[in-house]
Amino acid sequence: MEVNANCPNGDRSRFDSARIPDGPTNPMVTPLLTDLYQFTMAYAYWKAGKHQERAVFDLYFRKNPFGGEYTIFAGLDECIRFVANFKFSEDEIAFVRQSLPGSCEDGFCNYLRGLDCSEVELYAIAEGSVVFPKVPLLRIEGPIAVVQLLETPLLNLVNYASLVATNAARHRFVAGKSKILLEFGLRRAQGPDGGVGASKYSYLGGFDATSNVAAGRLFGIPLRGTHSHAFVSSYMSLDEIVDKSLPSSDGSSSCEDFVSLVQTWLNKIQWSSAFRGIFGETNQSELAAFTSYALAFPNNFLALVDTYDVMRSGIPNFCAVALALNDLGYKAMGIRLDSGDLAYLSGEARKFFRAIEKEFGVPGFGKMSITASNDLNEETLDALNKQGHEVDAFGVGTNLVTCFAQAALGCVFKLVEINNQPRIKLSEDVSKVSIPCKKRSYRLYGKEGYPLVDIMTGENEPSPKVGERILCRHPFNESKRAYVVPQKVEELLKCYWPGSLGKAREELPPLKDIRDRCIKQLEQMRPDHMRRLNPTPYKVSVSAKLYDFIHFLWLNEAPVGELQ
């Protein structure tokens, strides 16, 4: 048995045989990363001798983000790493002691000293799943005081992760499967954790790569990048290039003056009848920058072409360098556009590349990759699609990582049972009434293979069966109900942390597998749930028995008003 050195409890045999996960990626994620009121409540539970009472909490959200009808669940891996390694240090205990209002008894410090999550069980939907409002993403059971302490960190680990994964999935949906999506947001992200989290969860949600080197190292996300305007404008002239030699790609020969070869090609393009009148003199400092970059990366030459003038300078300069590389057996990668009308410029660039292919007989030159960036978001991607464009890859930063279109997901953590007694939270706003009881949830699939409905049942109800008709009821609206004969039934909540129970525990899959799951699940959804404009809400329901129980409890708990 392989166990992590940070095992939260000296007695490792108390944990199940699966490996204890490493601690959270961010070392800031400690038991103190919670709200003060969780500690004051824990103290009060302890003082009242109530801290060991067995509680069940659900973590769920109430409304899908970005005006859509689906959400991607992300952050589970970090939640389990946190729970598995939950343990207070002496320093932390001392800080809690001094932070609690009034005096704190020694007994509470001793209690914190022995505290871990060995008595906690955590059930969850698989990370990367498509999920819907009101259905618990996590169900956490355990002694009320410790589970209460977990509320804020678990919400913190799930909320942004799921929001940005959903944002990424939505960008992927608009861009289409065939496009490359690059996450470029680190410089604009909400601090270091925002940046690293954005890279991780954008990849999970369907992006192909990130520019964030730390995220590449931490999570194995493919790294991609181009160069910036500073690189282009840092060059003054071709004279700056001292070492001009470049061996051919197969090493059989060497070009002693690559700069001259580039200039020869630029002349050829300039004087060819196909390009006459399109451009005159190009910017020579830009040509120097491109040439220099090609000398450094002959196999990966990609140029940012909008520093001076895309069509009159950037594109012809790029083509001259690419053709010179081609002479030596190298294939240039392409260009990046970072300003202007990206539909128009990508179309013009494509025409230019095709004309080069034809004029100089270079097969494949017309298919040169075009990357676009600059304040992209779902709307601009959609607008570009409608106009028609020739972009192969999109670099998306600010709007993706800051989730500019919606700041937070709004997951909540609600007590649904204590000491086997179901609890409900009432609200004037029906959508905010919690669904009581320790529950199971299932996804029911229809004839066409699409998920039809998610249904929650009481813990001890029999599970829905394939081919057996079941009544699915809207949790709060009496008139909304439907019979479903499922063709496939998938139980959603699986045990990811059994505490010291001997139960089997779900493995935490690698990020790449979580991403694959996300992509596959999104492809399985009925298209009308996915469309951007007025998508159809997915049905979330409860069993007839749970429906009756919710309404019984509601009436029981709600005081009857008196009219005067």
Ligand X SMILES: Nc1ncnc2c1ncn2[C@@H]1O[C@H](COP(=O)(O)OP(=O)(O)OP(=O)(O)O)[C@@H](O)[C@H]1O
| Whole-angstrom distance, CA of residue 119 vs CA of residue 138 | 16
Scored b (16 or more CB within 10 A) or e, 528-553 reads ebbeeeebeebbbbbbeebbebbeeb
| Whole-angstrom distance, CA of residue 549 vs CA of residue 542 | 10
Instruction: Select from 174, 547, 559, 199 the least CA-distant residue to 383.
Output: 174
Residue number with the smallest Cβ distance to ligand NIO:
225
Shortest distance (Å) from residue 193 CB to ligand PRP: 18
Residue 509 interacts, among ligand NIO, Mg ion, ligand PRP, none and using kind-specific CB cut-offs from 5 to 8 Å, with none
Residue 376 interacts, among Mg ion, ligand NIO, ligand X, none and using kind-specific CB cut-offs from 5 to 8 Å, with ligand X
Instruction: Give the total of residues touching ligand NIO (CB under 6 A).
Output: 8
Torsion angle, CA of 11/17/22/23, rounded to 10 degrees? -50
Q: Does 225 bind ligand NIO (CB under 6 A)?
A: yes
Residue 341 interacts, among ligand X, ligand NIO, ligand PRP, none and using kind-specific CB cut-offs from 5 to 8 Å, with ligand X
Query: Which is nearer to ligand NIO, 120 or 400 (by Cβ)?
Result: 400
Query: Which is nearer to ligand PRP, 59 or 401 (by Cβ)?
Result: 401
| Whole-angstrom distance, CA of residue 519 vs CA of residue 73 | 12
Shortest distance (Å) from residue 336 CB to Mg ion: 12
Instruction: Write out the residues near ligand X by the rule CB under 6 A.
Output: 339-343, 374-376, 380, 383-384, 387
Shortest distance (Å) from residue 192 CB to ligand PRP: 17
Residue 398 interacts, among ligand X, ligand NIO, ligand PRP, none and using kind-specific CB cut-offs from 5 to 8 Å, with ligand PRP
Query: Which is nearer to Mg ion, 121 or 306 (by Cβ)?
Result: 306
Query: Which is nearer to ligand PRP, 186 or 492 (by Cβ)?
Result: 186
Specify whether the CB–CB gap between 340 and 376 falls below 8 A: no
Shortest distance (Å) from residue 297 CB to Mg ion: 23
Site for ligand NIO in 357-386 (CB under 6 A): 373
Residue 343 interacts, among ligand NIO, Mg ion, ligand X, none and using kind-specific CB cut-offs from 5 to 8 Å, with ligand X
Query: Which is nearer to ligand X, 399 or 441 (by Cβ)?
Result: 399
Query: Which is nearer to ligand X, 370 or 550 (by Cβ)?
Result: 370
Query: Which is nearer to ligand PRP, 206 or 436 (by Cβ)?
Result: 206
Query: Which is nearer to ligand PRP, 397 or 451 (by Cβ)?
Result: 397
Shortest distance (Å) from residue 281 CB to ligand PRP: 25
Angle subtended at Cα 280 by Cα 279 and Cα 286, rounded to the nearest 5 degrees: 85
Shortest distance (Å) from residue 306 CB to ligand PRP: 9
Scored b (16 or more CB within 10 A) or e, 187-219 reads ebbeeeebbbbbbbbbbbbbbbbbbbeebbeeb
Residue number with the smallest Cβ distance to Mg ion:
374
Q: What is the largest CA-CA distance in the chain?
A: 100
Instruction: Write out the residues near ligand PRP by the rule CB under 6 A.
Output: 184, 187-188, 229, 338, 373-376, 395-399
Element (H, E) at 224: none
Instruction: Select from 316, 317, 331, 405 the least CA-distant residue to 363.
Output: 331
Specify whether the CB–CB gap between 536 and 69 falls below 8 A: yes
Q: Choose, by CB under 6 A, the member of 34, 226, 291, 377 that binds ligand NIO.
A: 226
Shortest distance (Å) from residue 395 CB to ligand NIO: 5
| Whole-angstrom distance, CA of residue 428 vs CA of residue 444 | 31
Query: Which is nearer to ligand X, 93 or 391 (by Cβ)?
Result: 391
Query: Which is nearer to ligand X, 327 or 341 (by Cβ)?
Result: 341
Residue 250 CB-density burial (10 A; 0-12 exposed, 13-18 middle, 19+ buried): exposed
Angle subtended at Cα 227 by Cα 222 and Cα 228, rounded to the nearest 5 degrees: 130
| Whole-angstrom distance, CA of residue 327 vs CA of residue 331 | 9
Tokens, residue 487: 């063709």
Q: Does 143 bind ligand NIO (CB under 6 A)?
A: no
Question: Which residue type is seen at 36?
Answer: L
Give φ, ψ of 275 to 5 degrees: -115, 5
Q: Does 184 bind ligand NIO (CB under 6 A)?
A: yes
Shortest distance (Å) from residue 228 CB to ligand NIO: 7
Complete DSSP assignment for 227-268: --HHHHHT---GGG-----EE-TTSS-EES-HHHHHHHHHHH
Shortest distance (Å) from residue 330 CB to ligand PRP: 25
In the three-class reduction of DSSP (H, G, I as helix; E, B as strand; rest coil), residue 423 is classed as coil
Q: Choose, by CB under 6 A, the member of 128, 142, 205, 395 that binds ligand NIO.
A: 395
Shortest distance (Å) from residue 202 CB to ligand X: 18
Site for Mg ion in 352-411 (CB under 5 A): 374
Residue 399 interacts, among ligand X, ligand NIO, Mg ion, none and using kind-specific CB cut-offs from 5 to 8 Å, with none
Shortest distance (Å) from residue 161 CB to ligand PRP: 20
Q: Does 397 bind ligand NIO (CB under 6 A)?
A: yes
What are the CA-CA distances from residue 110 to residues 106, 380, 560 (Å)?
Answer: 6, 57, 44
Residue 226 interacts, among ligand NIO, Mg ion, ligand PRP, none and using kind-specific CB cut-offs from 5 to 8 Å, with ligand NIO
In the three-class reduction of DSSP (H, G, I as helix; E, B as strand; rest coil), residue 488 is classed as strand
What are the CA-CA distances from residue 344 to residues 349, 363, 477, 510, 519 (Å)?
Answer: 9, 24, 50, 40, 31
Tokens, residue 13: 């045999």
Shortest distance (Å) from residue 252 CB to ligand X: 43
Which positions lie near Mg ion, rule CB under 5 A? 374
Which positions lie near ligand NIO, rule CB under 6 A? 184, 211, 225-226, 336, 373, 395, 397
